Structure 1
Amino acid sequence: MPYFERKPYENPSRAISSVASQPDTQPISDIARRVLETERGNQKHLEGPFTCRKICHPGGTATILLSFAAAEGDEPVEMQFEPGDLTNPNGDILPANRVNVVPPQIQLVAGETTDVAIVVTVPDLTEPGAYHGRIACTGTEQTSIVVVFEVAGAQT
C-alpha cells in the first residue's frame, strides 16, 4: 500500500501590496498624438489623411465643417479642394458632383484661420450605408481628407 504524507498548507511569505489607482492628468489625445509623432517621424502639420464623419438622410444635405489655420511665423498657405466620389462597401456611389467644397480654395496668411464646408446632397433613393471618399487638398500643403457620410434609413 502506498504511503501518503499530509503536509500543512504553506502561505507565501511575501506580502502583496495593493496598487492605488493614479488619476490621469494627461489627455488621451496628447498621448495618442505623441505616439503617432514617434511612429511617423518628422512630418508637416497637415499631413493626413484625416477622417471626418457625418450622419445624413436620403433627400437631405449634410455638412462637415473644417477649420484651417496658418501658424504664426509660417509662409502663406494656399490650398485647393477637389472632392471625389463617395462609395459604400456594396459599391453604391454618391458621385463627386453631389459633393461641394465651399470655398473651393483658400489663401491664408500667418496667424489666419478660416472654415471650409464639405456639403453633400443625398438623392432621395440613396441606399443606407457609410459612403467613404476623399477630398484632395493641393497647393502649398498636400494632403487628403477622408470623409464618411453615413446615410441612415429614410426619415419618417
Structure 2
Amino acid sequence: MSLLNDFKAFAVKGNVVDMAVGIIIGAAFGKIVSSFVGDVIMPPLGLLIGGVDFSDLAITLKAAVDDKPAVLLAYGKFLQTCLDFLIVAFAIFMGVKAISKLHKEQAKAPAAPTAEVVLLTEIRDLLKAEKPVAPLVDKLPPV
C-alpha cells in the first residue's frame, strides 16, 4: 500500500501537474507552428525559389518496382522540420526574453518600507534632534 500512496503523493504534486500542462500546451503549440510553417511560410518561399514544394523534394534511391513503392531520401520534409524547429526555438527565446525582462523590472523596483520601518525612522530622527540625555542618566535612581 505504501507504494500506491507514494505514487499518489508524487502524481498530485504541483510540479507534476504543471509539467503535464506544459507538455500538453507545448504539443498544441507545435501543431500551430507546423501549420504556420507548412501553410503560411513554405508556399511563398517555394514560389520564390521557382514553385518548389519543399515536402516534395526527394532523391530516389530505388525506383518503384511493380507494387513496391520507391525508396526516397525525402530531404524536403527534413528541411521543413528544421524550419519548424527554428521557428519554435525563436518563439521560445522571445518568450523567455520577455519573462526575463519582467523579472528584471520587478527586481529593480524597490519595495516600499513597512509601517514599522517608517515609524522607527521617525523615532530615530526625533531622538537625533533631541539634546543629549547623558546628564539625565546620572539622575536616575540606582537599580
TM-score strictly above 0.5: no
TM-score computed with the length of structure 1 as normaliser = 0.19
Greater per-residue helix proportion: 2
Between structure 1 and structure 2, the one with the greater Rg is 2
With a CA cutoff of 8 Å and minimum separation of 6, indicate the structure with the bigger relative contact order.
Answer: 1
TM-score computed with the length of structure 2 as normaliser = 0.20
Greater per-residue strand proportion: 1
